[in-house]
Chain A
Amino acid sequence: MKKELVIIGGGPAGLAAAIAAKENGVDDLVIIERDGRLGGILNQCIHNGFGLHTFKEELTGPEYAGRYIDKVLELGIPYKLNTMVVDLTQVSEGADAESGNEKADEAACRVQSGSKLVTVMNRQEGLYTIEAKAVILAMGCRERSRGALNIPGYRPAGIYSAGTAQRYVNMEGRMPGKEVVILGSGDIGLIMARRMTLEGAKVKLVAELMPYSGGLKRNIVQCLDDFGIPLKLSHTVVDIKGKERVEAVVVAQVDERSTPIPGTEEEITCDTLLLSCGLIPENELSGNLGVEMNPVTNGPRVNESLETDKQGVFACGNVLHVHDLVDYVSEEATQAGKCAAAYLQGRLSAGETAEPGKAGKQIPIRAVDGVRYTVPASLDPHRMEETQVVRFRVGNVYRDAAVEVSFNGKVVSSRKKKALAPGEMEQVILKKTDLEQFEGLEEITFAIRRS
């Protein structure tokens, strides 16, 4: 099977990317979704607060997804459900190979060099390969597990990532526990503190390793404060008790190097430990393709077109970097869809091979002094749209600091911020004209300056 564009993932990123691609003239496209329905993780996010930026109203997760799903249906964008992408490779350049490639569909006799081979499988159609000119990566992310957190203790039932518990409660109507301690103040953990309380469980504590919360301020207020759930910063779980089922966890205070302080241990009786300690982009497929990764985001490095170092491979949403609000995912994915369309229509000139003076030079964006990373990680002033949103996260909590943008070391903008926190994504909009007017631009720098 051949397709112009394959979108891997039918969550918020994949949906918005597909819509944008279609609206920009790509008709031969397909969304591949591993779950039984479109919408991704939004389907289990039944709380409201989604869409304030995009729709200027408060929607629940399924409602927000529904808006995009309706649009996908209206535009007649094809999608495949319960379909897993099992491999993603690229036909090597200049190798207009016979389909001797064992993964290729027997019908596709010749595959074009540079094509992407997306091997999928599902119950109805079995295993086959789609040859695509462009691919949008929109696989989302997963939660950090207990094992990755190195929490010592027994391994009983009753330890769930917050998202797993959310699925049990919101999708199955079943409670995974009665007395709960939550480790990590990521947004899902905060949302689940409220949900478990509303559904009749007792949430005894949210412990956060860092001296600040990893979630949105509004979630701290609405999910913890409003329900009288205590949040202990600079605390972690140092032991899990109970052989079959969790019986208690031991929580201790940590020092500035996140090491537990002896003597501060407190045993809390509970039958459930929920973990909300960070999300990790799911880039195993990107790895198969050999896409260059950013070790800070665990997502691909992309340029202004949200294109990875592999031409025709774009990334958006949580697979690219973990977002706080879905609205930004949709916005970013829309851009990815547009750029994929431009690429397919030959409007996105190839990177380094272009003529000098025209498109072709990628200007790196360096994240320094408190800025952990930027997306994109580089941009081409000639190729970019009139404006470019640069998203980033900071590595610490800052009060009354400024986000400073420099060109070749010269500060070109400084925006005051009352508060900056790692839990909230920030953005700066760069103007094409500003970049083009700057003589000999070699490097853009993003930094935080304390006043």
Chain B
Amino acid sequence: MTDIIVIGAGVTGCGIARELARYDWKVTVLERASDVCEGTSKANSGIAHAGFDAFPGTMKAKLNVEGNRMMEALSKELDFPFRRNGSLVLCFDEEDRPKLQKLLEQGQKNGVKELRIIEREELKGLEPNISDNAVAALYAPTGGIVCPFNLTIALAENAAVNGVEFRLNTEVQKIEKIPEGYRVITNQGVLESRVVINAAGVYADRFHNMVSEKKIRIIPRKGEYCLMDKKVGNFVTRTIFQLPTKYGKGVLVTPTVHGNLLAGPTAVDIDDYEGVNTTRSGMEDLMKRAGLSVEGLPSRQVITSFAGLRAHAVTENEDFIIGQAEDAPGFFDAAGIESPGLTCAPALGRYLTALVLEYLPAAEKKYFVAERKGIPSMALAGPEERKRLIQENPLYADVVCRCELVTEGEIMDAIHRPLGATTLDGVKRRTRAGMGRCQAGFCSPRTVEILARELGKDMAEIGKNDEGSEFLTGYNKDGIV
């Protein structure tokens, strides 16, 4: 019998696990995929939203503003990339000004600081490439950009270092109520726990509905994105949103914290909980709509596209579903965590932990280690830092990924850390190897080789992500008699 089981190792589950780790509980995180950050957390805008979007009084509003405030200190504590670049919501039509004003007031009610409306001239001054059609904008200097992978991985690693057990490749199949708590049946055996926390993303409704009669419903809402080359990463410096118009909710154009340019997402409700495929129409649509925000969107610089699924909960006030299920004591939901879920994660973890403490009191750990040091980045290091790193470990001079300047030393770190990478995608998300303009064309064979060597496996056992995604199918001339 364990104290707490968290289902799902996305940013929400990992954010919760990291806060739970402060207390004397036995905590296990169950994750279906082969790594943390394999679902929605890996395919989103990477935005630390300011907090003007959500209706005042909702959990979304509260946790967003709080999470945004926490992000900077957390990024230092856990060593992940974050930058407060500010965000702008563009208004293209004088008629829409009341909407802009309403958004401003909503933000102020939510407690967003420094919000103001700026006029075309100031807007052009801030962002020279902004569309000539923009008449005004809501400016939120507190908006930020964050690396969604490193945020999630940092939370997970720090939780792991503080005693949280992560079971990967472990898919929850069934949850049953037992007198002491819950029996959780997985593809890797049966576990029992006093408390279950449901952070299962688009699957959260299934698990909730296994134990509760108060049914909830999650709809996967697909969002497609196009990522552009670092060459055009400074095309805009702030995150550019659009006011929703009669043509629908707008898409954003933003620099990423790593210096690429990102456009997206679309918003299409789908039935397939695994439907992370991109579509021609989706990509065309998003680039067209992103093009409304700026003059001359460099669409020819797209280096990759991807899609993620928002876990949209069908509720009255469009809010998250957070807290203990009414008719299932000890079963806590963190469900329907769509945007701004990434921003909320640190605050959500803290909030939910407080709720669990009321249900299952525990003492604070005496030895909690709050700090985590990330993998050094040769690409970001200055000349002296680079020299120092190479002196420490010459493998930091051995470049594997030329586009993003990632070295063998960094890849080795990624593999040998707590919750280390075991897949190509795992290495990619931890180090950026393969995230550049050639999209792993040159480095993937070498990364596969290093993974195999370090994990004591054959290259044929190394995959992109989950089982079945291995790269090699055999030896030359295998099929020839």
Which residues of the other chain, A, contact B473 by a CB distance below 8 angstroms?
175-178, 271-272
Nearest residue in A to B481 (C-beta to C-beta)?
A: A200
Picked from A34, A158, A239, A271, the residue with its CB within 8 Å of the CB of B399 is A34
8 Å CB contacts to B: which residues of A165-192? 167-169, 171-178
Picked from A121, A167, A238, the residue with its CB within 8 Å of the CB of B280 is A238
A353: Cβ under 8 A from any B Cβ: no
Which residues of the other chain, B, contact A156 by a CB distance below 8 angstroms?
464, 469
Interface size on A, residues (CB 8 A): 56
- Asked if B476 and A150 make an inter-chain contact with CB atoms under 8 angstroms apart, the answer reads no
A186 to B31 Cα, complex, angstroms: 42
10 contacts between A and B (CB under 8 A): A121-B399, A126-B397, A127-B386, A143-B441, A147-B303, A164-B440, A168-B471, A173-B475, A200-B480, A244-B468
A305: Cβ under 8 A from any B Cβ: no
Picked from A123, A172, A245, the residue with its CB within 8 Å of the CB of B468 is A245
A154 to B305 Cα, complex, angstroms: 10
- Asked if B277 and A167 make an inter-chain contact with CB atoms under 8 angstroms apart, the answer reads no
Which A residues are closer than 8 A to B by beta carbons? Answer: 34, 82, 84, 86, 102-103, 119, 121-124, 126-127, 142-143, 145-148, 150, 152-158, 160-161, 163-164, 167-169, 171-178, 199-201, 238-240, 243-245, 260, 271-272, 284, 287
Which residues of the other chain, A, contact B231 by a CB distance below 8 angstroms?
287
- Asked if B304 and A174 make an inter-chain contact with CB atoms under 8 angstroms apart, the answer reads no
Cβ of B412 to closest chain A Cβ, rounded Å: 13
- Asked if B304 and A145 make an inter-chain contact with CB atoms under 8 angstroms apart, the answer reads yes
- Asked if B442 and A164 make an inter-chain contact with CB atoms under 8 angstroms apart, the answer reads yes
Q: Mark B432-455, 1 if CB is under 8 A from A, else 0.
A: 000001111110110001000000
Question: Given A123-B394, A154-B276, A102–B469 Cβ distance below 8 Å?
Answer: no
A102 to B386 Cα, complex, angstroms: 12
- Asked if B460 and A174 make an inter-chain contact with CB atoms under 8 angstroms apart, the answer reads yes
Picked from A126, A147, A240, the residue with its CB within 8 Å of the CB of B227 is A147
- Asked if B398 and A122 make an inter-chain contact with CB atoms under 8 angstroms apart, the answer reads yes
Cβ of A193 to closest chain B Cβ, rounded Å: 15
B211: Cβ under 8 A from any A Cβ: no
- Asked if A103 and B383 make an inter-chain contact with CB atoms under 8 angstroms apart, the answer reads yes
Contacts A177-B473, A200-B474 supplied; 6 other A-B pairs, CB < 8 Å:
A34-B402, A119-B383, A127-B387, A172-B449, A244-B468, A245-B470
B145: Cβ under 8 A from any A Cβ: no
The list of the 8 closest CB pairs from A to B, nearest first, reads A147-B304, A200-B479, A244-B468, A145-B439, A157-B464, A84-B399, A244-B469, A157-B469
A380 to B254 Cα, complex, angstroms: 45
- Asked if A102 and B383 make an inter-chain contact with CB atoms under 8 angstroms apart, the answer reads yes
B467: Cβ under 8 A from any A Cβ: yes
Question: Given A127-B383, A157-B464, A168-B445, A176–B394 Cβ distance below 8 Å?
Answer: no
Nearest residue in B to A271 (C-beta to C-beta)?
A: B473
**Chain A binding surface SS class:** mixed
Which residues of the other chain, B, contact A177 by a CB distance below 8 angstroms?
473
Cβ of B383 to closest chain A Cβ, rounded Å: 5
Most interface-central of A160, A163, A175 (chain B CB within 10 A): A175
Cβ of A187 to closest chain B Cβ, rounded Å: 16
Nearest residue in B to A154 (C-beta to C-beta)?
A: B277
B472: Cβ under 8 A from any A Cβ: yes
Nearest residue in A to B231 (C-beta to C-beta)?
A: A287
Nearest residue in A to B471 (C-beta to C-beta)?
A: A157
Cβ of B44 to closest chain A Cβ, rounded Å: 15
B155: Cβ under 8 A from any A Cβ: no
A136 to B445 Cα, complex, angstroms: 28
B302: Cβ under 8 A from any A Cβ: yes
Question: Given A164-B445, A167-B445, A175-B472, A153–B304 Cβ distance below 8 Å?
Answer: no
Picked from A103, A175, A238, A271, the residue with its CB within 8 Å of the CB of B476 is A175
Cβ of A238 to closest chain B Cβ, rounded Å: 7
Most interface-central of B445, B463, B470 (chain A CB within 10 A): B445
Cβ of A417 to closest chain B Cβ, rounded Å: 31
- Asked if B445 and A142 make an inter-chain contact with CB atoms under 8 angstroms apart, the answer reads no
Which residues of the other chain, B, contact A200 by a CB distance below 8 angstroms?
474, 476-480
B465: Cβ under 8 A from any A Cβ: yes
A449 to B439 Cα, complex, angstroms: 40
Which residues of the other chain, B, contact A84 by a CB distance below 8 angstroms?
397, 399, 402, 405
B279: Cβ under 8 A from any A Cβ: yes
- Asked if B439 and A152 make an inter-chain contact with CB atoms under 8 angstroms apart, the answer reads no
Nearest residue in B to A156 (C-beta to C-beta)?
A: B469
A229 to B18 Cα, complex, angstroms: 55
Cβ of B471 to closest chain A Cβ, rounded Å: 5
Question: Given A153-B278, A156-B464, A143–B397 Cβ distance below 8 Å?
Answer: no
Cβ of A205 to closest chain B Cβ, rounded Å: 18
- Asked if A174 and B459 make an inter-chain contact with CB atoms under 8 angstroms apart, the answer reads yes
- Asked if A121 and B459 make an inter-chain contact with CB atoms under 8 angstroms apart, the answer reads no
B382: Cβ under 8 A from any A Cβ: yes
- Asked if A127 and B390 make an inter-chain contact with CB atoms under 8 angstroms apart, the answer reads yes
B351: Cβ under 8 A from any A Cβ: no
